[in-house]
Amino acid sequence: MPDPVSAPRGLRSWASVAWFLLPALALFLVFVLAPITVAVHTGLFRWSGTGPMDDFVGWGNYARLFHDQVFLGDLERGLHLIVLSVTVQLPFALFTAVLLNQRLRGRAVYRMLFFAPYVLSEVVTAVLFTMVFLPGAGMADHLAGAFGLEGLRGRWLADPSTVVPTLFAVMTWKYFGFHMMLFLAGLQSIPGEVLEAASIDGAGPWKRFRHVTLPLLGPTIRISTFLSVIGAIQLFDLVWVMTAGGPNHSSETMAVSMFQFGFKRHQVGYASAISVVLFLICLVFSLFYQRYVLRRDLSGALTPGGGR
């Protein structure tokens, strides 16, 4: 039988937990679950955003998505940005982190300079690089002429074949410093004794990096990869300010298409369907990544007794 003294204490404990959870739960319901529910519901209607929502089309908006060449192009461009982020941006950030983890004069200044672009807002960055790539007068055109690349002059953001690589270069300038700092933190958490033992065993710099540093840096690399992929999927600010999805939809992302249809073309039902698909892509990727990639890291972090 329960102890009459401990039972009220247990109830008080649960009441305290519920009281502290209630504000967070209320915010989650209002700002997460409610918008998702509204978006799913709105995506079932053909609605302009004004007037009654009475033109029910069921799954018609979602079926339209996968026959829409613009949306299919958004998916393809999103995949290209993900591949470029994982294969170019993150290795560049890792190389820079390894370099700045060495005993290098002025490395604190270099770290600050490389991280500084991340502090800028996306809009400020986009406006800055819009001026850099300004046809005829921007710094990019002058540099292209100086290095014999006259064919690129005026094409950076105006040519469908160059606009996505140009946007990716801006993304890399903006975000690689963030990933560099993550890798630096991971590198500095590696015990020096482990690297010293590998050196004593005859391992050179490359073997130490390949067989000691990279495996111990694995959790940081996996988290950085996750953040990079999610960021590429949800990319909006830079693209909207710099190109608005042009030319001829060649730089649109799913978020830009959602904004275009919802606020420019007044097809709120279709834009809601895009938002739901975007949410589902992020959700499925997050669950899959956590289940199959971060599983070992999370199980290690949740070891009973604090991992002791």
Q: Which domain holds residue 123?
A: 69-301
> Looking at residue 10, what is its pLDDT?
61
- Cβ–Cβ < 8 Å for 46, 57: yes
Tell me how far apart the alpha carbons of residues 219 and 293 are, in angstroms, rounded to a whole number. Answer: 9
pLDDT at 304 over 70: no
Q: What is the pLDDT of residues 156-188, one digit of tens each?
A: 999 999 999 999 999 999 999 999 999 999 999
Within a domain: residue 57?
Answer: no
Classify residue 140: in a domain, yes or no: yes
Within a domain: residue 37?
Answer: no
Q: Is residue 180 part of a domain?
A: yes
Identify whether 75 is part of a domain: yes
Identify the residue with better confidence: 89 or 298.
89
Local confidence band at 281 (pLDDT 50, 70, 90 cut-offs): very high
Q: With respect to residue 161, please indicate whether it lies within any of the assigned structural domains.
A: yes
Q: Where are the alpha helices (DSSP H) in 104-236?
A: 107-119, 122-132, 139-146, 163-188, 192-200, 205-208, 214-216, 218-233
Q: Are 118 and 175 in contact (CB under 8 A)?
A: yes
Determine the Cα–Cα distance for residues 37 and 228; give it in Å rounded to an integer. Answer: 27
The pLDDT tens digits of the residues spanning 69-128 come to 999 999 999 999 999 999 999 999 999 999 999 888 888 999 999 999 999 999 999 999
Is 308 contained in some domain? no
Mean pLDDT of the chain: 89
Write down the pLDDT at residue 105.
87
Give the mean model confidence (pLDDT) for residues 234-241: 94
The pLDDT score that the predictor gives to residue 180 is 96
Task: Note the pLDDT tens digit of each residue in 8-49.
Answer: 666 677 888 888 889 999 999 999 999 999 999 999 999 998
Number of domains in the chain: 1
> If you write DSSP's letter for every residue of 33-71 in order, what string do you get?
IHHHHHHHHHTTB---SSS----B-TTHHHHHHTT-HHH
Residue 31 domain flag: no
Q: What is the CATH number of the domain that holds 213?
A: 1.10.3720.10
Q: Return the exposure string of 25-49: e unless at least 16 CB atoms fall within 10 Å of the residue's CB, then b.
A: eeeeeeeeeeeeeebeebbbbbbee
